[in-house]
Amino acid sequence: MNILVIGGAGYIGSHIVYELNDAGHQVTILDNFSTGLRENVDARATLVEGDMQDLTLLDRLLDGEASGSAGTFDSVIHFAALKAAGESMEKPERYTRANLIATMNLLNLMMRHGIKNFVFSSSAATYGSPEYLPIDEKHPQKPINYYGYTKLVIEQTMEWYSRLKGLRYAALRYFNAAGYDVQGRITGKEQNPANLLPIVMEVAAGSRPKMQVFGSDYPTRDGTCIRDYIHVNDLATAHVKAMEYLASENRDLTLNLATGEGYTVLEVIKEAERVCGRPIPHDITDRRPGDPAELVAASGQARETIGWKARHSDLKQLVESMWNVYK
């Protein structure tokens, strides 16, 4: 298939581009390199440098003109978004612009050009604080941070467009994405990370003297937040399967992508100390606004519908794949 990957030079997008090329698809990347890295771009893909918020460019691209490939796209996969839940509580306007407005414009242009298949990076952050665990796809969606709200609004828009315009969408609700390509093909590190694991790695590698653990008074086994960490290579296989499902089954998909296994912040730090063979200095500080105590998924629906299961997301393997890049 002929696929447009928006944000294909970014942390998650670059892993999916490799997987799509490995599966024999024809890939065009649109990326503005605001956080994406040239060194992570798979040379097999066609690269268009530009901003998805440049609607003239996006219009031409979806028309097939600027893509360098024949005709337009069978499917669009969209990664170009902001993703720091904590930051979204301080700078919501950035998230309105980059996540909401940009995606709404994209959907409208896709409809104009008759492109019906859309794989969207949604998030566990759409659920908010769990009412029960593990969280399945039917769990109420009541986000407690603005980031999660932006993802929820897009999910709801996709549902309407499915009914009104024949959009076929996959809303993939990632839990906590981490890890680096197990084949070692992607080695460019995220700059100024806000997520736990890259920060732990920067401390282990010595580029950051110490880190903070945000809160130790949560109702969890050691007082720190529990998250369900999922390896990016596993996310990558799920995207390819979801995209192929949309094309072959002609039905929408909403899936959790996770392992069903949760780890506390302190457990993650301890595992990293074991893998890296060095201490990871950390201070316990106040809670970060917008953090639910525990996010752990039921991931059976992905297995049943698209035959997907995490294979690289064991915490040790996940940390090792990151340490290979950061050491």
For ligand UFG, the binding residues in 142-181 under the rule CB under 6 A are: 175-176
95/118 with CB nearer ligand UFG: 95
- CA neighbor of 176 nearest in space, from 88, 275, 274, 257: 257
Interaxial angle between packed helices 102-112 and 146-165, expressed in degrees from 0 to 180 and rounded to the nearest 10: 10
Specify the stretch interacting with ligand UFG by CB under 6 A; choose among 30-38, 39-47, 123-131, 202-210: 123-131
Residue pair 254/171 in contact by the 8 Å Cβ criterion: yes
Dig out the tokens for 232 from the structure: 């990016």
169 is catalytic: no
Q: What is the 3-state secondary structure (H, E, C) of 109-164?
A: HHHHCCCCEEEEEEEHHHCCCCCCCCECCCCCCCCCCHHHHHHHHHHHHHHHHHHH
The residue number whose beta carbon is nearest to ligand UFG equals 225
The 80-119 site mask, x for binding ligand UFG (CB under 6 A), equals ---x-x----------------------------------
9/124 with CB nearer ligand UFG: 124
Least gap, CB of 245 to ligand UFG (angstroms): 22
Least gap, CB of 176 to ligand UFG (angstroms): 4
Least gap, CB of 256 to ligand UFG (angstroms): 10
Q: Binder to ligand UFG among 76, 125, 158, 236 (CB under 6 A)?
A: 125
25/173 with CB nearer ligand UFG: 173
Residue 289's beta-bridge partner residues?
none
Q: Please, is 293 exposed, middle or buried when counting C-beta atoms within 10 Å of its C-beta (0-12, 13-18, 19+)? A: middle
Concatenating the DSSP letter of every residue in 32-52 gives --SS--GGGS-TTSEEEES-T
Q: Residue 123, interface with ligand UFG (CB under 6 A)?
A: yes
Q: Which of 147, 180, 229, 263 is catalytic?
A: 147
> Cβ of 45: how many Cβ atoms within 10 Å?
21
Separation CA 325–CA 302 (nearest Å) = 29
DSSP assigned state of 308: -
- CA neighbor of 288 nearest in space, from 209, 173, 201, 211: 211
For ligand UFG, the binding residues in 26-85 under the rule CB under 6 A are: 83, 85
How far, rounded to the nearest angstrom, does the alpha carbon of residue 270 sit from its chain's CA centroid? 25
Q: Residue 124, interface with ligand UFG (CB under 6 A)?
A: yes
Query: How many residues belong to the site for ligand UFG (CB under 6 A)?
Result: 21
31/291 with CB nearer ligand UFG: 291
Q: Is the peptide bond before 130 cis (omega within 30 degrees of 0)?
A: no
Polymer length of the chain: 327
Q: Residue 139, interface with ligand UFG (CB under 6 A)?
A: no
73/326 with CB nearer ligand UFG: 326
Relative to beta strand 46-49, strand 168-174 is unpaired
For ligand UFG, the binding residues in 182-241 under the rule CB under 6 A are: 194-196, 199, 211-214, 225, 227
Q: Residue 253, interface with ligand UFG (CB under 6 A)?
A: no
48/215 with CB nearer ligand UFG: 215
Q: Binder to ligand UFG among 172, 238, 295, 318 (CB under 6 A)?
A: 295
For ligand UFG, the binding residues in 259-278 under the rule CB under 6 A are: 265
57/143 with CB nearer ligand UFG: 143
By the criterion CB under 6 A, which residues form the site for ligand UFG?
83, 85, 123-125, 175-176, 194-196, 199, 211-214, 225, 227, 265, 288, 291, 295
User: Catalytic residues, which ones?
Assistant: 147
